[in-house]
């Protein structure tokens, strides 16, 4: 069995859906289980609808709801789905949005419920299209195939028993019928809908692939694999042939949106190789992600440049703590207490610098940190990360990286090398990021 995941841009309209259906049909012999995102742009619209209802009252979301109805009814008609199916789902959505409008309140729980409709609608449309084309198929909400989540709205994780439940549910599916299931969403033990966070369908697909011990997990998107840099910044970015799970995790964690960072763990744990492929150019080889990362560019010292903008750097300085133990652990505890994630860290005897994503919790962390020393915060920073397992054993890479940044006249504000030594990270101002990335790409890949 293989698991195939299709992202929103692969499911944008009827021609895209037809393309996806023929890709799936071409792999029928490998018994695909299909995981889908919402149609392109729908999750954004659902979030906007929730907020519009909160701000504008009962009619606040009517305009967006109207657009969603028109689009989904048109799609349903084109793929041969009984129009009553999307209508029933959208009626429920409308009721919830009216509730939001009446209360003028949009809790994380309600937002998760609202956003879950995107995937529920797209799974039904794709499955209907397969049937329309003569391929037996059925649509599922992920919870009907065993997906049980932990109740953390907006960032849910699967519960430990989830894998066994999925394995059993998938084993019970009728032979020869292609199951199309929702990415991104699950239900907790109290039956409440949770989402796994933006871009979470990749993660759902990996959970399924791990649970059924799939031969392969295919992530189908709108670019030909993981590229050497974000193509929106570097026009010359090209696909990386092969990555190890470790390298892919670094690339994903440091901002390459193409694979959700949590995707790697379940696949790796069960030894399921991942391939990232392009729906619009299905014959391209894409990127293969495996334990050892064997492939054409295996020996390349640098595989990709990842970046993440809009971060903050927190500096903590304390001469009082000079030579005393426990300084780092106190700092770490302050972040842990308020559940704020730290990415990069650089330390000296009396000071520590850490990068954090934009988060509401930071204010509370700063209050705690100020008890330990002098604290400053710099906002609007980009983490740039050069990734490759051969960084460890290739001389001169750091020289090339800093040379390229100096050539671009970019000031490096912080430097960090991961303990595994397969990444070299620097922090620059957001305003310098694009120049820095292009210069690095020229120096390392062009
Ligand atoms: P999907 O809808 O298929 O899940 P996403 O938009 O989530 O697709 O992810 C694919 C996008 O990720 C690409 O279109 C590209 O703009 C962006 N991206 C950022 N960095 C990279 C990278 N290093 N390699 C490939 N794509 C990247
Ligand atoms: N539809 C969700 C989102 O837009 C999940 C996904 O696409 O992976 O974030
Ligand atoms: Mg995505």
- Give me the DSSP letters along 136-154: -EEEE-GGGGT-BB-S-TT
Cα dihedral: 95, 98, 104, 109 (round 10):
20
Q: How far is the CA of 319 from the centre of ligand 2 (A)?
A: 46
- Main-chain dihedrals φ then ψ at residue 295, nearest 5 degrees: 165, -175
* Cβ of 37 less than 6 Å from ligand 2: yes
pLDDT for 322 equals 65
How crowded is the C-beta side of 408, counted as CA atoms within 13 Å?
22
Q: Which CATH code fits 304-445?
A: 3.30.2130.10
Residue ranges per domain, the chain?
2-221, 304-445
The enclosing H or E element of 335 equals helix 327-337
pLDDT for 45 equals 98
- Nearest residue (CA) to ligand 1, atom 5: 258
pLDDT in tens, 289-306: 999 988 877 778 899 999
| Level-2 CATH architecture, domain 2-221 | 3-Layer(aba) Sandwich (3.40)
Neighbours of ion ligand 3 (CB under 5 A): 7, 199
Dihedral sign (CA 290, 296, 300, 306): negative
Nearest ligand 2 atom, CA 201: 8
Q: How far is the CA of 370 from the centre of ligand 3 (A)?
A: 38
pLDDT in tens, 134-167: 999 999 999 999 999 999 999 999 999 999 999 9
pLDDT in tens, 207-233: 999 999 999 999 999 999 999 999 999
Inter-residue contact 99 to 81 (CB < 8 Å): no
pLDDT for 321 equals 66
Picking from 56, 46, 58, 47, the residue whose alpha carbon sits closest to that of residue 102 is: 58
Mutation choice for ligand 2 from 114, 123, 183, CB with most ligand atoms inside 8 A? 183
Q: How far is the CA of 225 from the centre of ligand 1 (A)?
A: 9
Strand pairing report for 216-221 and 242-244: unpaired
> pTM for this one?
0.94
């Amino acid at each position: 069995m293989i698991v195939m995941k299709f992202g929103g841009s692969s499911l944008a309209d009827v021609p895209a859906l037809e393309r996806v259906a023929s890709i799936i049909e071409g792999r029928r012999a490998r018994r695909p289980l299909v995981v889908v995102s919402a149609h392109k742009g729908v999750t954004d619209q659902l979030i906007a609808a929730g907020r519009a209802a909160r701000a504008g009252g009962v009619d606040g979301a009517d305009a967006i709801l109207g657009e969603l109805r028109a689009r989904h009814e048109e799609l349903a008609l084109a793929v041969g789905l009984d129009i009553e199916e999307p209508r029933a789902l959208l009626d429920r959505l409308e009721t919830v949005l009216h509730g939001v409008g009446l209360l003028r309140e949009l809790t994380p729980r309600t937002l998760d419920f609202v956003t879950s409709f995107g995937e529920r609608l797209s799974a039904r449309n794709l499955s209907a299209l397969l049937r329309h084309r003569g391929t037996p198929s059925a649509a599922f909400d992920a919870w009907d195939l065993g997906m049980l989540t932990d109740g953390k709205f907006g960032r849910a994780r699967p519960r430990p028993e989830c894998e066994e439940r999925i394995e059993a549910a998938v084993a019970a599916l009728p032979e020869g019928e292609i199951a199309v299931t929702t990415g991104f969403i699950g239900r907790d033990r109290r039956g409440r809908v949770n989402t796994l966070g933006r871009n979470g369908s990749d993660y759902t697909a990996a959970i399924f692939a791990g649970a059924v011990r799939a031969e392969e997990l295919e992530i189908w998107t709108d670019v030909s694999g993981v590229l050497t840099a974000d193509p929106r910044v570097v026009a010359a970015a090209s696909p990386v042939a092969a990555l190890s799970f470790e390298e892919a995790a670094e690339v994903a964690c440091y901002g390459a949106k193409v694979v959700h960072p949590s995707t790697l763990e379940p696949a790796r744990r069960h030894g399921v190789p991942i391939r990232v492929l392009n729906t619009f150019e299905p014959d391209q080889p894409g990127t293969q992600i495996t334990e050892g990362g064997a492939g054409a560019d295996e020996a390349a010292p640098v595989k990709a440049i990842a970046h993440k903008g809009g971060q903050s750097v927190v500096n903590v300085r304390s001469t009082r703590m000079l030579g005393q133990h426990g300084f780092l652990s106190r700092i770490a505890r302050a972040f842990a207490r308020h559940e704020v994630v730290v990415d990069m860290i650089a330390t000296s005897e009396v000071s520590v610098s850490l990068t954090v994503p934009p988060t509401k919790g930071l204010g509370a962390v700063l209050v705690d940190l100020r008890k330990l020393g002098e604290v400053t915060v710099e906002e609007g920073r980009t983490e740039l990360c050069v990734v490759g397992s051969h960084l460890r054993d290739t001389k001169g890479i750091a020289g090339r990286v800093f040379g390229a940044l100096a050539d671009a006249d970019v000031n490096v504000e912080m430097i960090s090398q991961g303990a595994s030594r397969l990444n070299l990270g620097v922090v620059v101002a957001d305003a310098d990021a694009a120049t820095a990335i292009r210069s690095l790409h020229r120096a390392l890949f062009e």
